[in-house]
Structure formats: C-alpha cells, structure tokens
Amino acid sequence: MFDGKFRKSLDATTAPVGRWLVRAGVSADVLTASGLVFAAATAFAIGAGWHWGAILLLTAAGFHDMLDGAVAKASQRVSQRGSFFDSVVDRVSDSLLMGGAAYYLIARHHGELVLLPFAVMTSTFLISYQRSKAESLGLDARGGLMERAERMILLGVGLLAAPLFVPVLWLMLVLTTMTAIGRFRRVWRAAARPEPVRRTYEHPRSHVGRIRRSIARSTRH
C-alpha cells in the first residue's frame, strides 16, 4: 500500500538525505548490510523480551532499508547486483524477526502458538515470490494491504505491550494472507489477457514484389 501510494513522496523526502550520505562516502550496500545487523539485533531483543529496545532497533533497521535506495539513486549506481542484494537481505531480515518472535513465544507460551510466526513468514515469502515472478513475466504485482513497510509498522505496534504481541501476529497473518490472495488474483487476471500482436512494418514495394513473383510462378505452372 505504501509502495503504491506514497512512494513518490517518500522518494522526494529521502532524496536530500541520500545525496548527503553519498557525499559522506556511504554506499547503498553498506546501508543494506548494516540494516541486516540492526534486524538481527531486533530479533535478539524480541526473543529476550526487551520489546521497547526492539522498537528502537526496528526503527533503525527501517531507516536503513528506506535510505539504501535513495543512496543508490543519488550515487547513480542503481544496479542489478544491488537490487538482488537488497531483496535477499530483506528476506533474511524477515526470517530473523519472525524467528525472534517464535523464540519469545517458546519462552512465554505453550502449545502450537509458536507456529504463528512461521505462518506469518510463509505468507510473507509468498507475497514476495509473487511479485518477483510476476515482474519476471512482465506483469505488475505491487501493492496490497500488507507489504513490507506495513508489516514492520504493525510489528512495532505489537511490541508496544506484551498483551498486544500475539493478537498483532494473528492480524499480520490475516492481512498477509489477504494480500497474497489479492496479488494472485490480480496477476492471474493480467496473465489471462492476450498478448498484443506485434506488427512489423513492411514496405509496400516488397509486398508488390511478392505478388508479382507469385503470379509469375503460377503462369509458369
């Protein structure tokens, strides 16, 4: 949702910061890697039950994730390698965060509730896979109720108080599942449309020449 509606305004806001970081000698890959470090620290804080500290670390990880693209654009070094690295790090970060949530539930709850973070992670990965696969086919699969920015914000809300944590995870599961279903339907419909026929221009004289040759062959036979 944020990616579709607020991306332009966000890019305009972060562009000056990206230019400043480039002048300071900070690269996009460094921000991506340091964001992973903050995500790992956030996962540790969640598992240990230090949820207010986890909110601060999660915010720092979010700023790194938000600014690496701005730095790449400001340095004019947007590349396939950087995009690939960023996508992989995002998936690792998501896994770490849900792993921290699972560890926290193991320590403080009983039963099958520990499977809830893994269910959230599965639906999250499905959303990401649908987008990457659709884009490889030339289709657009962006948007939805619960993209990565929304997931991080909602997780931060769940960290505000212990009684909120489990209900927020359930809400994340419902919304991510709805997002995955919505993306599937949107891509399914787009993929069902017939591909446009590409017509190549042909000079009229070549067309006339083919007709003459065809007539000549028919008269010989």
- Those residues with Cβ within 8 angstroms of residue 101's Cβ, 6 or more apart along the chain or in another chain: 46, 47, 116, 117, 120, 165, 169
Chain-centre distance for alpha carbon 47: 25
d(CA 176, CA 148) in angstroms, rounded, equals 10
Residue 69 has pLDDT above 50, yes or no: yes
CA angle 163, 165, 171 (to 5 degrees): 115
What SS3 string covers the chain? CHHHHCHHHHHHHHHHHHHHHHHCCCCHHHHHHHHHHHHHHHHHHHHHCCHHHHHHHHHHHHHHHHHHHHHHHHCCCCCHHHHHHHHHHHHHHHHHHHHHHHHHHHHHCCHHHHHHHHHHHHHHHHHHHHHHHHHHCCCCCCCCCCCHHHHHHHHHHHCCCHHHHHHHHHHHHHHHHHHHHHHHHHHHHHHHCCCCCCCCCCCHHHHHHHHHHHHHHHHHC
Fold of 2-194: Four Helix Bundle (Hemerythrin (Met), subunit A) (1.20.120)
Residue 136 has pLDDT above 60, yes or no: yes
Mean pLDDT, rounded, of the chain: 82
CA angle 1, 83, 76 (to 5 degrees): 105
Domain boundaries, the chain: 2-194
pLDDT given for residue 92 in this prediction: 95
pLDDT given for residue 220 in this prediction: 46
Percent of the chain scored above 70 by pLDDT?
A: 82
Q: Specify the pTM.
A: 0.79
CA contacts within 13 A on the Cβ side of 66: 23
pLDDT given for residue 10 in this prediction: 66
Mean pLDDT of 19-46: 90
C-alpha torsion sign, points 49, 55, 57, 61: positive
d(CA 54, CA 198) in angstroms, rounded, equals 54
Q: Which of 29, 65, 68, 90 is catalytic?
A: 90
d(CA 60, CA 162) in angstroms, rounded, equals 21
Between residues 1 and 187, the one the model is more confident about:
187
Percent of the chain scored above 90 by pLDDT?
A: 41
Q: Is 86 a catalytic residue?
A: no
Q: What is the identity of the amino acid at 87?
A: S
Query: Quick one: DSSP state of residue 216?
Result: H
